[in-house]
Amino acid sequence: MELTYKSTRDGSIRVTSSQAILQGLAPDGGLFVPERLPAFPLSFEEMAQKSYQELAFELMRLLLTDFTEEELRDAIQKAYDEKFDTALIAPLVKKDGVYYLELYHGATAAFKDMALSILPHLMTIAAKKNQIQDEIVILTATSGDTGKAAMAGFADVPGTKIIVFYPKGGVSMIQEKQMLTQRGANVHVVGIRGNFDDAQTGVKKIFGDAGVREKLASCGLRFSSANSINIGRLVPQIVYYFYAYGQLIRQNAVKAGDPFHITVPTGNFGNILAAYYAREMGLPVEKLLCASNENKVLVDFFSSGLYDRKREFILTSSPSMDILISSNLERLIYKIAGEDCEVTRALMADLQSKGEYQITPEMKRKLDVFYGNFASQEETKEEIAALFRKEGYVIDTHTAVASRVYRTYREKTGDHLPVVIASTASPYKFARAVLSAIAPDRLSGNDLDLCRTLFEISGQKVPRTVEEISSLPNLHDTVVDVPEMEGEILRWLGI
Ligand SMILES: *Cc1c(COP(=O)(O)O)cnc(C)c1O
């Protein structure tokens, strides 16, 4: 049965999955959502025997129904291959009584690879399917990891170009170096003088600008998005939560059907929304723990029902979560509003005009499955140090935020149900912050020196992307102010 996607802000906008992937954002500024979430058709025992690729196929065929089986298998094979440094793709490891789902074994050592290694293939298939002759221009704002993962995915993919905006000074040295050394004739990286929200708001505005769209169209170009608002990102992320549960079963941590918790270090709300969708599809998730850093707008939202972005933006040791507007939350709002586009649109208009919105008590009750809390930078550091002392296992700052929030939850509630923590980046991507937790007396040198030190101390495997950047030349050096973003795009595209 064909599954269509509609906009969160206007129910009359309906497209196929391939069209939703091509468009990224709906034309009214809303986000595409599946009209319903299909039930997972396999038994969990069966599921536990599947490889990552097989499971990806079983799930994606349910949600991307206008792709043929052959197209999906082809995209999956191309995405989840030797770019990953383990055949498991996303291993689940038990440390100190907690299951860490390592999502950082792909090309750029962050969980964004899980979706961005497949999105370019879905997108080029989608273009063919819809008889699109235009070249696709991917426009992306990044808080550090998305940009590199998107460029790695799209580099030299025929029929595509990609432009990435990142906050200059708002990402780690390794992240920046990873982006600036990206090869590919079709990639362009631009630093902006502003923070991630400025970059994201700028990109959204350009997307929504009919004048710019027309200019592109007259040159045979069209925008699309690789940000986590694209359902081509969201759908592949649902896979690893089922896969994690299969591994829990295989490791005898649960019996098939038993409940478990998921904890996700959250920024734009994409990763945890995928877990929520997995639950809606039948995965027995008891609680979704939404972990924030000191930019704790979501924590306050879950406790009060008021989403209030009017606050100081704090640069933390987990920069990929330094976000005050969590775009994907709109999809959850739509759900708890009873799939009401009017309500969703009104709340998003409030956010735009007043910087806040308040949900009704009835909507708030539907958030019961979520537990929101945050970890300070000091607590994050302690978490990394404590886990390393106990297990010799090093986690990155983002994962540590989640790990700490989970422990707080467990202490408060005494709830010992098995928990899966999404481990979203290799500790080497944030070597300075990680070392300052486990070996504060060994912080001399630049971030690459610190990676070597971290290896000496931990013996944990250094990702290829980190190993190779010291020998690669910088290929990009553009920096612009926020109002110049549009001009820079047109200039680089030669319009
Ligand atoms: C992007 C990112 C996050 C946040 O994920 P969202 O889907 O934006 O909530 C967390 N950790 C790392 C390392 C990331 O790159």
Mean pLDDT for the stretch of residues 33-41:
97
pLDDT range class, residue 479, cuts 50, 70, 90: very high
pLDDT tops 90 at residue 492: yes
Q: 405-435, pLDDT tens digit by residue?
A: 999 999 999 999 999 999 999 999 999 999 9
Domain assignment of residue 440, given as a range? 92-110+232-466
Residue 454 forms part of a structural domain:
yes
Residue 28 forms part of a structural domain:
no
Determine which one of 6, 95, 112, 204 is catalytic. Answer: 112
Residue type, 14: R
pLDDT tops 90 at residue 146: no
Q: 185-240, pLDDT tens digit by residue?
A: 999 999 999 998 899 899 989 988 999 999 999 999 998 888 788 999 999 999 99
Whether the Cβ atoms of residue 188 and residue 164 lie closer than 8 Å to each other: yes
Whether the Cβ atoms of residue 34 and residue 339 lie closer than 8 Å to each other: no
Smallest Cα–Cα separation from 253: which of 21, 119, 446, 93?
93
Residue type, 279: R
Residue 190 forms part of a structural domain:
no
Smallest Cα–Cα separation from 340: which of 8, 81, 1, 2?
8
What is the atom index within ligand 1 of the atom nearest the CA of 267?
9
Tokens 């959850």 -> residue: 332
Tokens 């990929």 -> residue: 320
Q: Which helix (H) or strand (E) holds 99?
A: strand 98-102
Over the Cα atoms of the chain, what is R_g? 21
- Choose one of 108, 164, 320, 323 to mutate for the ligand 1 pocket test, by most ligand atoms within 8 angstroms of C-beta: 320
Residue 78 forms part of a structural domain:
no
What is the atom index within ligand 1 of the atom nearest the CA of 271?
7
pLDDT range class, residue 93, cuts 50, 70, 90: very high
Question: How many structural domains comprise the chain?
Answer: 1
CA of 398 to the centre of ligand 1 (A): 8
Residue 149 forms part of a structural domain:
no
CATH of the domain at 445: 3.40.50.1100
Distance CA 406, CA 412 (A): 10
Residue 360 forms part of a structural domain:
yes
What is the atom index within ligand 1 of the atom nearest the CA of 269?
9
Tokens of 206: 């350009």
CA of 423 to the centre of ligand 1 (A): 10
Q: What is the pLDDT of residue 465?
A: 92
Whether the Cβ atoms of residue 324 and residue 197 lie closer than 8 Å to each other: yes
Distance CA 116, CA 125 (A): 15
Tokens 């502003």 -> residue: 194
Nearest CA to ligand 1 atom 2: 320
Residue 137 forms part of a structural domain:
no
pLDDT range class, residue 484, cuts 50, 70, 90: very high
112 is an active site residue? yes
Nearest CA to ligand 1 atom 14: 320
N residues, the chain: 495
CA of 465 to the centre of ligand 1 (A): 18
Nearest CA to ligand 1 atom 1: 320
- Choose one of 119, 166, 266, 271 to mutate for the ligand 1 pocket test, by most ligand atoms within 8 angstroms of C-beta: 271
CA of 495 to the centre of ligand 1 (A): 33
Distance CA 436, CA 431 (A): 8
What is the atom index within ligand 1 of the atom nearest the CA of 265?
10
Distance CA 208, CA 7 (A): 14
Whether the Cβ atoms of residue 365 and residue 340 lie closer than 8 Å to each other: no
Q: 62-77, pLDDT tens digit by residue?
A: 999 999 999 999 999 9
Residue type, 235: V
pLDDT above 90: percentage of residues in the chain: 89
Smallest Cα–Cα separation from 406: which of 314, 292, 242?
292
Q: What is the pLDDT of residue 486?
A: 97
Tokens of 324: 């005050």
CA of 220 to the centre of ligand 1 (A): 33
CA of 47 to the centre of ligand 1 (A): 26
Phi and psi for 5 in degrees, rounded to 5? -115, 140
pLDDT tops 90 at residue 350: yes
Distance CA 212, CA 217 (A): 9
Tokens of 389: 């002392």
- Choose one of 114, 424, 426, 428 to mutate for the ligand 1 pocket test, by most ligand atoms within 8 angstroms of C-beta: 424
Q: Which has the minimum average pLDDT: 225-229, 237-241, 345-349, 437-441? A: 225-229
Ligand 1 binding pocket (C-beta < 6 A) is 110-112, 145, 228, 265-271, 320-321, 398, 424-425
Q: What is the pLDDT of residue 171?
A: 87
Tokens 């979430």 -> residue: 37
CA of 65 to the centre of ligand 1 (A): 27
pLDDT tops 80 at residue 1: no
pTM, two decimal places: 0.94
Q: Which has the minimum average pLDDT: 44-53, 171-180, 360-369, 388-397? A: 171-180
State the average pLDDT for the chain. 95
pLDDT above 70: percentage of residues in the chain: 100
- Choose one of 321, 374, 397 to mutate for the ligand 1 pocket test, by most ligand atoms within 8 angstroms of C-beta: 321
Mean pLDDT for the stretch of residues 373-383:
98
Q: Buried b / exposed e across 53-83, counting CB within 10 Å, b at 16+?
A: bebbbbbbbbbbbbbeeebbbebbeebbeeb
Handedness of CA 265, 332, 144, 104 (dihedral sign): positive
Count CB atoms within 10 A of the CB of residue 283: 21
Residue 285 forms part of a structural domain:
yes
Q: 243-298, pLDDT tens digit by residue?
A: 999 999 999 999 999 999 999 999 999 999 999 999 999 999 999 999 999 999 99
